[in-house]
Structure 1
Amino acid sequence: MDDSRIMDHIEELVAEEHRLLDQAGEAGHGIDQAGHERLEQIGIELDRYWDLLRQRRAKREFDLPVTDAGLRDADTVEGYEG
């Protein structure tokens, strides 16, 4: 997967996140349980794909093969300290 496809996927996830939030606002009530769960999944997947993009950029910066970068599991990515 190249950087442009990674960014496309990130943009799709962000668009879905916005749709869910907008739908809840238009309906005049909060997000239901399924919506909360999906938003959580989207957040985790966004973190994973941003991490992948950062890995690829770092490898490129140090002239390492970007193909060595990989999508890390959710536990690893979510365990990072900010």
Structure 2
Amino acid sequence: MSEEVRLVAWVRGHVQGVGFRWFTRARALEIGGLRGFALNLDDGRVQVVAEGPKEGCEQLLAWLKNGDTPGRVDGVTEIWDTPRGGYDGFAIR
């Protein structure tokens, strides 16, 4: 059984208005087993919260940092925590 974790990532760059949240959701669903959301922030960043198996969260983080994402990613800041639950699937907010 894989360890369950919570990943919170803040993505900087040209990541709003380019379909970034939609692609993030699609990638999370492709990885499988992840629950959470992607949210545009007022300062131009996108916040991504993902809960699920550690391996899946690590895959999503690697994609956020180095993947073929829409727009342009200048940097990603992340924190790891214990899951809080309460998410039904992976949403765009």
Larger Rg over CA atoms: 1
Q: Compute the TM-score of the two structures, normalised by the length of structure 2.
A: 0.28
Q: Compute the TM-score of the two structures, normalised by the length of structure 1.
A: 0.30
Which structure dedicates a bigger proportion of its chain to helix?
1
